[in-house]
Amino acid sequence: MQGLPRASSSSTSASRDRDGGDGDGGGGGVTMTNGQDNLLPIANVGRIMKDGLPPQAKISKRAKETIQECATEFISFVTGEASERCRRERRKTVNGDDICHAMRSLGLDHYADAMHRYLQRYREGEELAASLNSSSSAAATAAAAAGSRGGGAIQIDVRAELSIFRSGNNQGRPNN
């Protein structure tokens, strides 16, 4: 596929085209058999939407379905670009750096910056957890003294990343 992927409500035909059209998945593309199989779970979409609203707010089923379709299309668009990069480089695994690069190449620089910060913090947390699991009890004690809790688990607040993004771009608008 050349250029940017075309936005559509059904990405299965584009997946079959990349896949070679036989539907066995051997070409590296994703083939879906049902239109509902490739959408994000509606319960998760609704939960994320509710998190940004006052507790008494109601969300219609149609609004959830619309956001579900848009979010799924956005994810497919970015991952498709990242997948193309991997294909060009003859790699089979898409990683977080590929997603950040795809966001930049699609003109989503602010999202790429927030994603890169999140990815770095995630990797730092994984490294800390791995070192705590493989090190002696002295290192684990030192990490506990430094404020680590829950056996090396580090929580990354996605909302903090998003608020950094909001404060840099919406200076005239209130953050709700």
CA distance 75 to 7: 11
Of 40, 43, 20, the closest CA to residue 31 belongs to 20
Which of residues 151 and 16 earns the better pLDDT score? 151
CA dihedral angle for residue 72, residue 11, residue 83, residue 102, rounded to 10 degrees: -50
Which pLDDT score, from 0 to 100, does residue 78 have? 97
Please enumerate in sequence order all residues whose Cβ is within 8 A of that of 10, keeping only pairs 6 or more positions apart, or say none. 35
Which pLDDT score, from 0 to 100, does residue 134 have? 80
Residue 25's φ and ψ, nearest 5 degrees, are 80, 0
Residue 31's φ and ψ, nearest 5 degrees, are -115, 125
Span(s) in the chain for CATH 1.10.20.10? 12-103
Average pLDDT over the chain, rounded to an integer:
74
pLDDT band at 10 (very low <50, low <70, confident <90, very high): very low
Q: Could you identify the residue written with the tokens 């927030």?
A: 114
**Cβ neighbours, 10 Å, residue 42:** 14
* Cβ atoms of 68 and 36 closer than 8 Å: no
Please enumerate in sequence order all residues whose Cβ is within 8 A of that of 34, keeping only pairs 6 or more positions apart, or say none. none
Total residue length of the chain: 176
**CATH architecture of structural domain 12-103:** Orthogonal Bundle (1.10)
pLDDT in tens, 42-92: 999 999 999 989 999 999 999 999 999 999 999 999 999 999 999 999 999
CA distance 121 to 109: 18
Beta bridge partners of 149: 153
- Check the CA dihedral 7-10-15-17 and report its sign: negative
